[in-house]
Amino acid sequence: MAPKRDYAKRVKKGDFGDAKSVTAKELRANLAEVLDRVGRGGEQIVVKRHGKPLIAIVATYDLQACQALEDYNDACEIQEAIDNGELDEPGRPWSEIRKELGL
């Protein structure tokens, strides 16, 4: 799991790693090709409007990986809060919560 400062740094710099970018106009003209590049080629595409990133198009497995990472991060934050005494859930063992979250 990357430190939060890395995430903030990426957001501030507009860093999307090795993702390619297209304009909204290019996307409209080449939608089928872009979807094929993402779906079959595994590319990640950032769509920009007026030079600013608007959305990202990613394959479903990338989305699932992001969601799993988010779930893991949430579970870690909950466990940290419990360990620090900031959150108390009497009668609910951590193993049960982890199972509920799929961890």
Average pLDDT in the chain? 86
| Tokens encoding 67 | 């969601």
Cα distance between residue 93 and residue 8, in whole Å: 33
Residue 42 forms part of a structural domain: yes
Cα distance between residue 60 and residue 102, in whole Å: 19
Residue 6 forms part of a structural domain: no
Q: What is the CA radius of gyration of the chain?
A: 19
Q: Based on the domain organization, do 39 and 75 belong to the same domain?
A: no
Q: Give the structural domain span for 41.
A: 17-58
Residue 5 forms part of a structural domain: no
pLDDT digit string (tens) for 51-68?
A: 999 999 999 999 999 899
Predicted local confidence at residue 43, as pLDDT: 95
Q: Based on the domain organization, do 51 and 64 belong to the same domain?
A: no
Core vs surface per residue 73-83: b (16+ CB within 10 A) or e: eebeebeeeee
pTM, entire model? 0.65
For a pLDDT cut of 90, what percent of the chain falls above it?
48
Specify the CATH number for the domain of residue 41.
3.40.1620.10
Q: Based on the domain organization, do 64 and 80 belong to the same domain?
A: yes
What is the chain's length? Answer: 103
